[in-house]
Structure 1
Amino acid sequence: MASSNFLSTLLLLPLSLYTALSLVPAAEAGPKVPALYVFGDSTADVGNNNFLPGAQAKANFPHYGLDFPLSRPTGRFSNGYNGIDFLAMHMGFRRSPPPFLYVASKISMNRLKGVNFASGGSGILDSTGSTITMTEQIRHFRTIQSNLSMRMTIDAKNLMLSKSIFLISTGGNDIFGYFSQNKFPNATQKQLFIATLVSACQGHLEEMYNLGARKFAIVDVPPIGCCPYPRSLNPTGGCIEALNDLALGFNKAIKVLLQNLSLNLRGMKYSIGSSYEVVSNIIKKPYALGFKEVKTACCGSGKFNGEGACMPNATYCSDRRGYLFWDMLHPTHATSKLAGFAIYHGSLQFAAPINIRQLVEASN
Structure 2
Amino acid sequence: MATASPAWIVPVLLALAALCAAAEAEASPAKVPAMYVFGDSTADVGSNNYLPGSAVPRANFPHNGVDFPTSRPTGRFSNGYNGIDFLALNMGFKRSPPPFLSVANRTNRQITRGLLGANFASAGSGVLDTTGDSIVSMSKQVEQFATLRCNISARIGEEAADTVLSRSLFVISTGGNDIFAFFSANSTPTAAQKQMFTSNLVSQYKNHVKALFGLGARKLAVIDVPPIGCCPYPRSLHPLGACIDVLNELTRGLNKGVKDAMHGLSASLGGFKYSIGSSHAVVQSIMKHPQRLGFKEVTTACCGSGKFNGKSGCTPNATLCDNRHEYLFWDLLHPTHATSKLAAAAIYNGSLHFAAPINFRQLAEDQC
Shorter-chain TM-score tier: over 0.9
Find the counterpart in structure 2 of residue 115 from structure 1: 118
1:189-246 superposed Cα distances (whole Å, 9 cap, x missing partner): 1110011001111111111000000000000000000000000000010100110000
Deviation string 1:36-55 (CA, Å, 9 cap, x unpaired) is 00000000000010011214
Mind listing any 5+ residue stretches in structure 1 that lack a counterpart?
none
> Cα deviations across residues 70-89 of structure 1 (Å, max 9, x unaligned)?
00000000000000111111
Match of 1:287 in 2: 291
Q: Specify which of 103, 126, 129 is matched with residue 129 of structure 2.
A: 126
Q: CA deviation at 1:94?
A: 1.8
Structure 1 stretch displaced more, 67-76 or 24-33: 24-33
1:170 counterpart residue number: 174
Inter-partner Cα distance in structure 2 for 1:296 and 1:4:
25
1:20 is displaced (CA, Å) by: 6.2
In the alignment, what sits opposite 1:60? Answer: 60
Alpha-carbon RMSD: 1.6
Separation in structure 2 between the aligned mates of residue 231 and residue 259 of structure 1, nearest angstrom: 34
Determine the C-alpha separation between the residues in 1 that align with 2:127 and 2:280: 18
Q: How does 1:185-264 map to 2 (within 5 A)?
A: 185-264=189-268
Aligned match of 1:84: 84
SS at match of 1:29: coil
SS at match of 1:271: strand
**1:182 shift after superposition:** 1.3
Matched residue pairs, number?
A: 359
Amino acid in the other structure paired with 1:133: S
Partner of 1:303: 307
Say if 2:40 and 2:173, in contact at 8 Å, map to a contact too.
Answer: yes
Q: Name which of structure 1's ranges 101-110 and 37-46 shifts more when overlaid on structure 2.
A: 101-110
* 1:108 counterpart SS class: helix
Change (3 A) 1:338 1:38: same
> Matched residues in 1 for 2:188 and 2:173: separation?
26
Instruction: Please list every run of 5 or more consecutive structure 2 residues that lacks an aligned counterpart in the other structure.
Output: none
Q: Residue 103 of structure 1: CA displacement?
A: 1.7
**Which string of whole-angstrom CA distances, capped at 9 and with x for unpartnered residues, describes residues 160-214 of structure 1?**
1000000000000000000111111121111100110011111111110000000
Aligned partners of 2:267, 2:24: CA distance in 1, in Å?
Answer: 32
TM-score, L = length of structure 2: 0.94
Distance 1:157 1:174, change over 3 A: same
Secondary structure of 2:105's partner?
A: helix
1:19 is displaced (CA, Å) by 4.7
> Does the 8 A contact of 2:39 with 2:174 survive in 1?
yes
1:179 paired residue number? 183
* Contact residue 216 and residue 271 of structure 1 kept, 8 A: yes
Q: Does 1:51 align with 2:50?
A: yes
8 A Cα contact 2:300 2:308, kept in partner? yes
Shift of 1:63: 0.3
Compared CA separation, residues 134 and 121, structure 1 to 2 (3 A): same
Distance 1:12 1:46, change over 3 A: closer
Give the letter aligned to residue 113 of structure 2: R
Distance 1:184 1:111 in 2: 47
Show CA shifts across 1:14-35 (max 9, x none): xxx9456435237633211111
- Deviation above 2 Å: which 4+ runs of structure 1? 3-13, 17-30, 109-112
- The amino acid across from 1:272 in the alignment is I
- Show the 5 A alignment for 1:131-170: 131-170=135-174
Identity of aligned residues (%): 60
Matched with 2:278 is: 274
Deviation at 1:6, TM superposition (A): 5.5
Residue 320 of structure 1 corresponds to which residue in structure 2?
324
Match of 2:12 in 1: 10
Asked if structure 1 preserves the Cα contact closer than 8 Å seen for 2:17 and 2:345, the reply is: no
**Aligned equivalents of 1:336, 1:38: Cα separation in 2:** 16
Structure 1 window deviating more from structure 2 (90-99 vs 124-133): it is 90-99
What letter matches 1:49 in structure 2? N
Q: Quick one: distance in 1 between partners of 2:67 and 2:24?
A: 19
Deviations 1:245-286 (A, max 9, x none): 000010001110000000000000000000000001100000
In 1: Cα distance, 2:357 partner to 2:199 partner = 22
Provide TM-score, normalisation by structure 1.
Answer: 0.95
Instruction: Give the letter aligned to residue 99 of structure 1.
Output: P
